[in-house]
Structure 1
């Protein structure tokens, strides 16, 4: 039996689909950032606990991605398939690339470990009922609505009719772009 979550997402293996996977990861993180900003998307301690798991596993998995990217570039350099825009030797750049990725790989391991530790730290926590419902400050529009409960349409309908017409912008000659 195979684990469906470990199977390739798409049988197509080309550079475009690989770049799309990286973009999807970025978009997923962006959406997760919005979802974890607090109520109404995040209201339970159990959700915070569960959310820590997948990014930790993803960070751990990025270590493999990083290793594979380094292996690819080293292989391309060894095969003579890399060049430099200014004709310089590529080896120092590949070496620097590998050093930077090595550091990034250590950070992914550290991130995975830190997220796992955070998850263990809140393992025994749970939410408790609050005696009086807490007031959650909403958006600026919701806050303004409390201070000014009428909509713009309701206010404009209740205003007396204007005695004079509204000012009109002067016509502009399209050829010279000057007021006529």
Structure 2
């Protein structure tokens, strides 16, 4: 779509169809064989996925703006003869969620790419450099998290939990449930 000519709805629909086909092809290529072979390629893919996610935000916002303009101008109808406002409002709300989720997705891809940035493939014969001190510290933390429950709870459970409620004691207001409203029929 590099031609400077006018764009049509058909052009836009075709691009949207190509987008999901491109993602499907990307999924097949990253799975392999041979699939990804270098961390640098994964970094680039993550960066591009972040940008794509952020651009999906813009596409959703533009579709929402189009529908709002058309609704405000009175150029939208409903196939069943209903008022189009509730349906367009539902679309507006769903697109709002889409923009939030796409922005979150883009941010997650960006964070993944940032974390991957210093990672590289080892050269042939090169030994991995692991921080032995950090590995030992992680093991100590793991062991500390799996200590016996009786260290946290040295008292028998019966001593810690209150006994059964006395039916003669009134319930405090915060524990009383409000009456259920009757539904109209």
Coarse TM-score class (shorter-chain normalised): 0.5 to 0.7
Aligned to 1:49: 43
- 1:77 has 2:71 as partner: yes
* Selected match of 1:86 from 80, 96, 102: 80
Deviation at 1:39, TM superposition (A): 3.9
Quote the Cα distance in structure 1 between the aligned partners of 2:25 and 2:91: 30
Q: How does 1:109-124 map to 2 (within 5 A)?
A: 109-124=103-118
Aligned to 1:156: none
Q: State the secondary structure of the residue aligned to 2:117.
A: coil
- 1:29 has 2:23 as partner: yes
Q: State the secondary structure of the residue aligned to 2:107.
A: helix
* Selected match of 2:2 from 4, 9, 22: 9
1:119-163 CA distance string (max 9 Å, x none): 1111111111455xxxxxxxxxxxxxxxxxxxxxxxxxxxxxxxx
Quote the Cα distance in structure 1 between the aligned partners of 2:68 and 2:22: 30
Change (3 A) 1:45 1:39: farther
Q: TM-score, normalised by structure 2?
A: 0.63
Quote the Cα distance in structure 2 between the aligned partners of 1:104 and 1:21: 19
Give the paired residue count: 124
- 1:20 has 2:19 as partner: no
Listed as ranges, the gaps of 5+ residues in structure 1 are 1-7, 132-180
Deviation at 1:38, TM superposition (A): 3.9
Listed as ranges, the gaps of 5+ residues in structure 2 are 126-185
Aligned to 1:153: none
Quote the Cα distance in structure 1 between the aligned partners of 2:38 and 2:73: 53
Quote the Cα distance in structure 1 between the aligned partners of 2:41 and 2:28: 14
Quote the Cα distance in structure 2 between the aligned partners of 1:110 and 1:94: 24
Structure with the higher helix share, 1 or 2: 2
When the two chains are superposed, the root-mean-square deviation of aligned CA atoms in Å is 1.5
